[in-house]
Chains A and B, each alone.
Chain A
Amino acid sequence: MSKIGYLIIVVALAVAVALFIASQRPQTAAPQQTAPRQHAVLYMATTTSVKDTGLLDVLIPDFERWAAERGYDVEVRYSAVGTGQALLMAARGDVDVVLVHAPDLERRYLENGTLKCRDVIAYNFFIVVGPRGDPAGARGTSAAEAFRRIAEAKAPFVSRGDRSGTHIKELSLWREAIGREPDPKVDTWYISAGAGMGQTLLLANEKRAYALTDVGTWLRYRDRLDQLEVVVPAAPDLINIYSFEIVKPSPAAKLMAQYMLTRGQEVIGNLTVAGQPLFTPISRADPRAMEWIKPAVFGPSCVG
């Protein structure tokens, strides 16, 4: 290498060292000043219904503001998948908190230690929707009876097929209705979409098919679903319970749990489409619904 080459390297190193020292100085010079706010990033896994309804769009910015008012700089990064995947991500340690809706599955993850604590925060209902004209004659029955008639008529049915809370509920309804889970390979009327709730409804609309959906996503998408209507409305056995859980305890995670049961309740209750609420916060549950929710309240609370 030429002399000029060595010179350039030496000068570059000198500049780098000088910059390094300069950058260190303010921190060592001012240790007495108030400690800088801790910037915490909270990773969250949740379900597509919570995202497709637009709840996360209002809940997360509001939580971040609420936390900032209390002197916490928290940033939430979420990924909306099905409940099954969200809990798998929790088990792998990829997320700090989850917001899901499959109590039976949650119980298992609580028992194996993946979830440290759990609070029911809101509920709504599942409904069965289907094509106008109701070709399977499923209207005016219970969900299980509707499913039995759909299977009997071999009317097209779109399943989430993605291990989400809605999919898990749907499979349990099939077991109740026809004693087994439909097999998309043999039962050609059974369409396994592998998609989120919103896309599943759009697919059902295209195929003029039946589907199980949560009421929130249905209300949010209804004006785009001109081929579909409600076949089985909200009923006690179709209650859909959402809960918040901490996977990795931290001050930020605990703060979010607190928010979910205080200010967040208001935000959840205020989310409406055409005047209809998408979710009922647990603080506003009527006594009758509370009876249906009771079996799904278990595990240590994340607050207090």
Chain B
Amino acid sequence: MSAELAGIVLNSVYVSAVPALVSAAVGTPAALWLHTRGGRLAEALKALFNGLVGIPTVLLGLLLYLLLARSGPLGGLGILYTLEAVVVGHTLLVLPLYLSYAMTALDGVDPRVRELAEMFGLGRAALLKIYVREAAGGLAAAAAAAYGRALGELGIALMLGGDIRYRTRVLTTAVAHETMLGNWDAAIQLGAVLLAMAVAVSAAVTALGFRYRG
């Protein structure tokens, strides 16, 4: 069981860490751009992302299923029932969440930072760097939240991954599978691992945040 469990844990890390990292890589510049641009568009987009944070995962799963199925428009890729399909689904799921949190974190940066930067005649690149540094704790928390959401997600992992043993089984689908088989001990153990993985990352981010603030 332990070798299989290791595989399940690795799959889970893959389908949660990659979407979180992609969100951070794509979302941070987007959030910075929207924040410094300001105005109505930024406000409207922020409202949209806030709304998308609550998108029902089965709906996202269904739409992607129809897209990726053999008879669907992207069926030629043949990625339905693979971990890659789950990664795509989770990325779409957590990107709005990351953006929403990141923009809130940037809102929290002291507005005088911008004035000071302009006063010293710093370039745009330098200004953005200061923003990232000032909001680093919030951005890390946003990435951790994105990771946690993807880690604990069942609907997309089940619909797009298919819970195939040794291949696309992740912690959440394994918990569901063992529960349905009546193997409650195994389900509880997997649940404990899931909880530990979620708590460990957010604890690490929080600790880093404290250290960063001094």
- Chain B residue nearest to A88 (CB atoms) is B182
Q: Is the CB of A85 within 8 A of B182?
A: yes
- 0/1 string, B165-205, CB within 8 A of A gives 1: 11101000100010011100000000000000000000000
**Given the known A-B contacts A89-B182, A195-B163, are A207 and B169 also in contact in the complex, defined by CB atoms under 8 Å?**
no
- A183, closest chain B residue (CB): B166
Q: Is B71 an interface residue (CB 8 A)?
A: yes
Report yes or no: A206 in contact with B182, Cβ–Cβ below 8 A: no
Residue numbers in B under 8 Å from A81 (CB-CB): 180
With beta carbons under 8 angstroms apart, the residue of B70, B80, B164, B181 that contacts A191 is B164
Q: Is the CB of A205 within 8 A of B70?
A: yes
**CB-CB < 8 A to B181: which residues of A?**
84-85, 88, 162-163
Contact flags A123-143 to B (C-beta < 8 A → 1, else 0): 000000000000000000000
Whether the pair A192, B180 counts as a contact (CB closer than 8 A) is no
B77 smallest CB distance to A (angstroms): 12
A194 interfacial contact with B, CB 8 Å: yes
The closest CB in chain A to the CB of B4 belongs to A185
Bound: A84/B180 CA distance, A: 11
Contacting residues, chain A, for B180 (C-beta < 8 A): 81, 85, 162
- The answer, yes or no, to whether B162 is at the interface (CB within 8 Å) is yes
Closest B residue to A192 by CB, please name it.
B165
Chain B residue numbers with a CB within 8 Å of A205 are: 70
Q: Is the CB of B81 closer than 8 A to any CB of chain A?
A: yes
Q: Is the CB of B162 within 8 A of A203?
A: yes
A199 to B, closest residue via Cβ: B162
Instruction: List residues of chain A with CB within 8 A of the CB of B167.
Output: 184, 191
Minimal beta-carbon separation of B56 from chain A (angstroms) = 20
* B169 and A194 form a contact (CB under 8 A): yes
- Tell me if B163 and A206 are in contact (CB < 8 A): no
The answer to whether A192 touches B166 (Cβ under 8 A) is yes
The answer to whether B32 has its CB under 8 Å from any CB of chain A is no
Judge if B69 is at the interface, Cβ distance under 8 Å. yes
Task: Enumerate chain B residues within 8 angstroms of A226, measured Cβ to Cβ.
Answer: 71
12 pairs, CB–CB < 8 Å, chain A vs chain B: A162-B177, A162-B181, A184-B164, A184-B165, A185-B4, A192-B166, A193-B163, A194-B164, A194-B173, A195-B163, A206-B69, A206-B70
**Contact residues of A with B, CB < 8 Å?**
81, 84-85, 88-89, 92, 161-163, 184-185, 191-195, 199, 203, 205-207, 226-227
Known: A191-B164, A199-B162, A226-B71. 11 other contacts (CB 8 A): A85-B181, A88-B182, A162-B180, A163-B181, A184-B165, A192-B165, A194-B163, A195-B163, A203-B162, A205-B70, A206-B70
Q: What are the 4 tightest A-B residue pairs by CB atom distance, in nearest-first order?
A: A192-B165, A88-B182, A184-B165, A194-B177
